[in-house]
Amino acid sequence: DTEVTQTPKHLVMGMTNKKSLKCEQHMGHRAMYWYKQKAKKPPELMFVYSYEKLSINESVPSRFSPECPNSSLLNLHLHALQPEDSALYLCASSQDRGAREQYFGPGTRLTVT
Amino acid sequence: QQQVKQSPQSLIVQKGGIPIINCAYENTAFDYFPWYQQFPGKGPALLIAIRPDVSEKKEGRFTISFNKSAKQFSLHIMDSQPGDSATYFCAASSITSGTYKYIFGTGTRLKVLA
């Protein structure tokens, strides 16, 4: 199974809401990633988890809070977002942080109103 | 120095043509250069990747050419098909002193006409 799944597919939230994005992989990968992709732009790395520990935080605002409950799951908790945070949020995984072949999920389309 | 410059922004070819997409980088610490294909509403999918000790790599209809001295690499799609119509991203990655970088190029929208 070479699939990364993400839920929900679409999410609309107000600026005062709290919501979470979920990502799951069953490939036995030990590194997982969150990316943000604006329309017609490339993905931008937000967070890297390696063996369930946060290893990279690319200066992302604290209104985005990642969590890795176990080796298969990755969450992104959202709170007090701004309209400019509207984007496609992509999850990816790789065998480990040193293995640069990343497998991406389909993403969650987030709209902040 | 962390940027990856990609060109052209868009490309239209006839079926059977050979589109070529180019990327250039500055940071010599980059040591892994993948190409991703992305269809609308989907996540990027890894097509092919190369490391700087190799000048060319071929997988099926996709070929990467790599010029280490010029710090450039390119993707060639042989016998292109309408199903290849998508956005293509190059990327460059490095892990140095514990710092992990994975930088995507700006993307090329390819359209293959039937």
pLDDT tens per residue, range A96-108: 888 889 999 999 9
pLDDT at A45 (0 to 100): 93
Instruction: List, for residues A14-68, the tens digit of each pLDDT value.
Output: 998 999 999 999 999 999 999 999 999 999 999 999 999 998 777 899 999 999 9
pLDDT at B99 (0 to 100): 84
Question: What would the two tokens of residue A50 be?
Answer: 């390696």
B107–A4 CB contact, under 8 Å: no
As a whole number of angstroms, the distance between CA A77 and CA A108 comes to 13
Question: What would the two tokens of residue A58 be?
Answer: 């690319």
Mean pLDDT over B51-67 rounds to 96
B44–A40 CB contact, under 8 Å: no
As a whole number of angstroms, the distance between CA A88 and CA A91 comes to 10
DSSP conformational letter for B32: B
Question: What would the two tokens of residue A11 be?
Answer: 């999410």
Q: If you average pLDDT over every residue of chain B, what do you get? A: 95
* Dihedral angle sign, alpha carbons of residues B70, B65, A33, B5: positive
Letter string b/e over residues A10-24, b meaning 16 or more CB atoms within 10 A of that residue's CB: ebebeeeeebebbbb
Asked if A45 reaches chain B (Cβ–Cβ under 8 Å), the answer is yes
Q: If you average pLDDT over every residue of chain A, what do you get? A: 93
pLDDT at B89 (0 to 100): 98
